[in-house]
Amino acid sequence: MSLTDPTLRSPLADDPTQAWDLEPLVDGLGPDGVDAYLERADAIASELTGSRGRIADLDADGLLAFMSRMAELTDLVGRAESYASLWFCVDMNTPSRGALMQRVEERSTAMAATLVFFELEWAVLAEEQVDRLLSDERLAFCAHHLRSVRRYRRHLLSEAEETILTEKSPSGRSAWVRLFDELETEITVDVDGSAMALEEALSRLHDPDRGVRQGVAEGVTQGLARGIKTRAFVFNTLLLDKSIDDRLRRYDNWLAERNLGNEASDESVEALCTAVRARYDLAQRWYRIKAQLLGLDRLADYDRVASVAESEAQVSYEEGQAIVLDAYASFSPEMASLARRFFDERWIDVPVRPGKRPGAFSASTVPSQHPYLLLNWTSTRYDVLVLAHELGHGLHQHLARDRGVFHQNTPLTVAETASVFGETVTFGRLLATTTDPADRLALLAESVEGTIATVFRQTAMNQFEALVHTERRDVGELSVERFNQLWTESQTEMFGDTVEITDGYRSWWSYIPHFIGSPGYVYAYAYGQLLAMSVYARYEDEGSSFVPRYLEMLSAGGSMSPEALGRLVGCDLTDPHFWDGGLAIIERRIDDAEAAARAAGRL
């Protein structure tokens, strides 16, 4: 059966109110509006190139004029790129959508190549001159951004080299990432004779019936087997591409560039990963408890996320929306009011459809517009927490829009704070209204598993990345079997002897897009989860008096460093033992789940 069979479409798929409205991004002009914005951006880029060789001569007035025009250009390109990429995400099978996205990337890249000179000239200015210029309050809208740019000065190449690398990017790394995305979209999974999207199949691993889970897992493995050599080749190519970039730019290790972008030191990230790996016993403890709950001697990999409830609760999108809005209102009516706009004004694309990008995300777009959320709603309780998570991102992005295009977005490590916080508030609200012992157990189990997935599994995936990047550099191209071995090695470290890794699961690295599009990204989930749990603990201690400081942190966007943002809510991110507090919260959550299991007579 083909995935395009209309019987496989979500009931929401044909409801226009559940599809996002992208037209505000381009003033209702559709693809023609994209080209119009790029024309205007091209004119500004041409104007700005007149400053080549003269950045060192700019006074505060001159820098203000330059950066103001740069902000206009960034807004125009950002709107065009957002429209093209979001239009493509919901239908990756239509050639015209892919062609528009490629055209936008090529034209925006050409503009970026003409402006390479600015960051190079800015990076070599004396610190005293930079301090003098940025002391002008009129430049506050771009000051942190301009200081952050200078962090890369040791890794910049000559203007000619930077221009070549920039111009070739659409036919290089970006092209390989797009190819992987399209290959992944074509993966179908056969379940009981019906073909379904990978995303929907993975959601069925929550099913309480072990036979269903095992069958789905076998179907996923078979689906991944088709085309795995091609996806492995794409991965190998990008591993090599990154190793060349890192060598040319003089990065000390495979993760150094990501850490610099996150405004985090290599040492602090290593401390985080070491702290989490040292507490893999927490994940293993939960897997032993879960085996008892499921009546098994030992979990198999396809049992990890199984529901411990008697049956899997089905939650309609309308019910999920009400739950999340209620949760946000319990914390801050201001946030709930803003959250409602996402639903009422069609800022969310909800249903599973053929050709739609798997997963979920929030796209910040540009401050002159608003964020958009992508979901793939499959009517599970897990979808409710995904909605709460992505809405947290969207609210963060929207609250920070007054900071402008240079400061709206935060480093990845802080970007997860609002999303995890919103998810935690929603979970707390659900738990507070749940009195039945069996239902409380199910909720607590889902929470523990979500935390394990975010903190421990993402750290294990970071370790997998470290292994493959290192081996690609030291040994050479990896075979599919070698990828499988290194994936199994990193997963086994986390599972210990508590989870059996089946032969099929060894290839499941091959569908994870973060490895391809955002190398080194995944540790930010653990960072953000532990930070958010500490922030939530502050909220529990302080109550409503905490809310204004939290909103201040979100509204600050990326206008200050992660350490400074943490201080706004009383968190010291420079303390090497900071992560221990979040890990202790996870341990208490497991204690609560175990107690709930005993109260429900399951242990």
The CATH number assigned to the domain holding 120 equals 1.20.140.70
The CA distance from 64 to 451, in Å, is: 45
pLDDT surpassing 60 at residue 6: no
Residues 6 or more apart in contact with residue 283 via CB below 8 angstroms: 452, 456, 457, 494, 495, 498
Tens-digit pLDDT profile for residues 276-334: 999 999 999 999 999 999 999 999 999 999 989 866 678 899 999 999 999 999 999 99
Q: What angle do CA 406, 408, 410 make, to 5 degrees?
A: 100
User: Which two three-digit tokens encode residue 66?
Assistant: 């330059």
User: For residue 486, how many C-alpha atoms fall within 13 Å in the half-sphere facing its CB?
Assistant: 19
Query: Does residue 386 sit in helix, strand or coil?
Result: helix
Q: Is the residue at 335 inside a domain?
A: no
Tens-digit pLDDT profile for residues 74-101: 999 999 999 999 999 999 999 999 999 9
How high is the pLDDT of residue 1? 26
Tens-digit pLDDT profile for residues 204-242: 998 889 999 999 999 999 999 999 999 999 999 999 999
The CA distance from 83 to 241, in Å, is: 28
The CA distance from 416 to 554, in Å, is: 11
Q: Is the residue at 58 inside a domain?
A: yes
Query: Per this entry, what is the length of the chain?
Result: 603
Tens-digit pLDDT profile for residues 493-509: 999 999 999 999 999 99
Residue 310 is classified by DSSP as S
How high is the pLDDT of residue 2? 30
- The whole-number average pLDDT for the span 178-204 is 90
Residues 6 or more apart in contact with residue 222 via CB below 8 angstroms: 189, 190
**CA–CA distances in Å: residue 506 to residues 129, 277, 359:** 55, 21, 21
Q: Is the residue at 402 inside a domain?
A: no
pLDDT surpassing 80 at residue 42: yes
Tens-digit pLDDT profile for residues 321-369: 999 999 999 999 999 999 999 999 999 999 999 899 888 999 999 999 9
The CA distance from 472 to 483, in Å, is: 11
Q: How confident is the model at residue 371 (pLDDT cuts 50, 70, 90)?
A: very high
User: Which two three-digit tokens encode residue 417?
Assistant: 């704070």
User: 538: part of which helix (H) or strand (E)?
Assistant: helix 523-542
Structure pTM? 0.82
Tens-digit pLDDT profile for residues 516-551: 999 999 999 899 889 888 888 889 889 999 999 999
The CA distance from 270 to 118, in Å, is: 33
Q: Is the residue at 262 inside a domain?
A: no
Q: Is the residue at 512 inside a domain?
A: no
The CA distance from 291 to 298, in Å, is: 6
How high is the pLDDT of residue 14? 64
pLDDT surpassing 70 at residue 199: yes
Q: Is the residue at 408 inside a domain?
A: no
How high is the pLDDT of residue 314? 83
Cα torsion for 512, 516, 521, 523, to the nearest 10°? 50
Tens-digit pLDDT profile for residues 422-474: 998 998 888 888 888 888 898 899 889 989 999 999 999 999 999 999 999 99
Q: Are 362 and 372 in contact (CB under 8 A)?
A: yes
Q: Is the residue at 322 inside a domain?
A: no
pLDDT surpassing 80 at residue 180: yes
What are the two backbone dihedrals, phi and then psi, of residue 196, each rounded to the nearest 5 degrees?
Answer: -140, 165
Question: What region does 355 belong to: left with phi over 0, alpha with psi -120 to 50, or beta?
Answer: left
pLDDT surpassing 60 at residue 272: yes
Q: Are 497 and 288 in contact (CB under 8 A)?
A: no
Q: At what angle do helices 412-432 and 547-556 cross, to 10 degrees?
A: 150
User: Which two three-digit tokens encode residue 75?
Assistant: 């807004």
Q: Domain residues for 163?
A: 18-171
Residues 6 or more apart in contact with residue 78 via CB below 8 angstroms: 365, 366, 405
The CA distance from 181 to 273, in Å, is: 28
How high is the pLDDT of residue 446? 87
- The whole-number average pLDDT for the span 399-405 is 96
Burial class (CB in 10 A: 0-12, 13-18, 19+), 432: exposed
Q: How many CB atoms lie within 10 A of CB 581?
A: 15
- Structural domain total, the chain: 1
The CA distance from 552 to 586, in Å, is: 27
Q: Is the residue at 161 inside a domain?
A: yes
Expressed in angstroms, the distance from the first to the final Cα of the chain is 43
